[in-house]
Amino acid sequence: ILDEYVPIMNRRAAVLCEKLAVLGRDHFDLLPVMRLATFGILFETAMGITLDEEDVKKTGFLKVNDEIATDIITRMMNIHHWPDFIYRRTGAGQRYYEKVGLIKKYTRDILDCRKKNYKIEGDKAVQKKSFMDILLRMHMEEGVFTEDEIREEVNTFMIGGFDTTATAASFAIHLLGNHPEAQAKVHEELDAVFGSDRVRPVTTEDIKHLKYLDCVIKEALRLYPPIPAIARKLGEDIHIEKYTIPKGTVSVIFIYFMHRHPRFFPKPND
């Protein structure tokens, strides 16, 4: 399935490179640029809808998404807001759920539109390969998913996909900029694969040969994981040496510190 998205990524990446070539003449904030790019890629591959940067800005999706993320962190810092029945009665909670409702309405409207088009297009719709088209086919032709399940999948894909990718790419570029010797090796590898042809589309076969670049990306993810911590509710008792963490406990795993633990990485900060 991912191979079908390569042309979209190539086209979007070319636009990004042109923009970076202009912005790179002076210092600038990379993350907003990467967020617009990754959101455009994700929206087209997930929804099957092409948006340029101005269209992305007009949706207001990024702004609302940022506000929701800030609200979540703020809530985490206030123990009195942890219980949902209390938080929903606060002004902050009401504003938060209003924003969540906007995101859900946005994806619901798109799903309704795509579903109508699916019925009209028939066989042509079956041939499409966007993430939503695949889910719709499984819903309408095979009965695998309900509409609510599709919406949840799309919400997860959209909210959790573009920002983490943009953050990871930004940190990788930041690290390359601060380690010119690694940047030179990446450049050398790219020259070995693409030669003098700097404009031809990247293929999945090319990516298989970019082994050093793969290492750079993985090292960037180790040093700066886009999601520094995750929380999981335990489905069973967990025994660690003489301690027992009971079932039902919400456990927080700090990926950032795990990735910098000297037991696993002799020089964790290098």
Amino acid letter, 228: P
Say how far apart CA 103 and CA 60 lie, in whole Å: 10
| Highest mean predicted confidence (pLDDT) among 10-19, 60-69, 113-122 | 10-19
Bigger pLDDT: 132 vs 215: 215
Of the candidates 51, 26, 30, which has an alpha carbon nearest to the alpha carbon of residue 41?
51
Residue 127 confidence class, pLDDT cut points 50, 70, 90: low
Which region holds residue 73: left if phi is over 0, alpha if psi is between -120 and 50, else beta?
A: alpha
> What is the mean predicted confidence (pLDDT) over 9-21?
92
Total-model pTM: 0.84
Of the candidates 38, 28, 4, which has an alpha carbon nearest to the alpha carbon of residue 168?
38
Could you tell me how far CA 225 lies from the centroid of its own chain?
Answer: 12
> What is the mean predicted confidence (pLDDT) over 186-196?
95
- Per-residue confidence (pLDDT) for residue 128, from 0 to 100: 59
Residue with tokens 């609200």: 71
| Six-digit token string for 149 | 């399940």
Helix %, strand %, coil % for the chain, to 5?
A: 70, 5, 25
Residue 47 burial (10 A CB sphere; 0-12, 13-18, 19+): buried
Domains and CATH numbers, the chain: 2-180 (1.10.630.10), 228-270 (no CATH)
| Res. 183: pLDDT tops 80 | yes
* DSSP one-letter string for 85-154: HHHTTSHHHHHHHHHHHHHHHHHHHHHHHHHHHHHHHTHHHHH--SHHHHHHHHHHTS--S-HHHHHHHH
State percent of the chain over pLDDT 70.
96
Bigger pLDDT: 183 vs 121: 183
Say how far apart CA 94 and CA 75 lie, in whole Å: 12
> What is the mean predicted confidence (pLDDT) over 100-115?
86
| Six-digit token string for 163 | 């920002």
Amino acid letter, 199: V
39-43, 221-225, 242-246, 254-258: lowest mean pLDDT where? Answer: 39-43
- Per-residue confidence (pLDDT) for residue 242, from 0 to 100: 93
Give the C-alpha distances (Å, rounded to integers) separating 160 from 42, 144, 155, 206, 240. 10, 23, 8, 27, 31
Say how far apart CA 137 and CA 69 lie, in whole Å: 32
53-57, 75-79, 180-184, 187-191: lowest mean pLDDT where? Answer: 53-57
Contact 169, 224 (CB under 8 A): no
pLDDT, one tens digit per residue, over 34-57 is 999 999 898 888 888 887 777 777
Say how far apart CA 51 and CA 40 lie, in whole Å: 6
- Per-residue confidence (pLDDT) for residue 107, from 0 to 100: 83
- Per-residue confidence (pLDDT) for residue 18, from 0 to 100: 92
Say how far apart CA 99 and CA 70 lie, in whole Å: 12
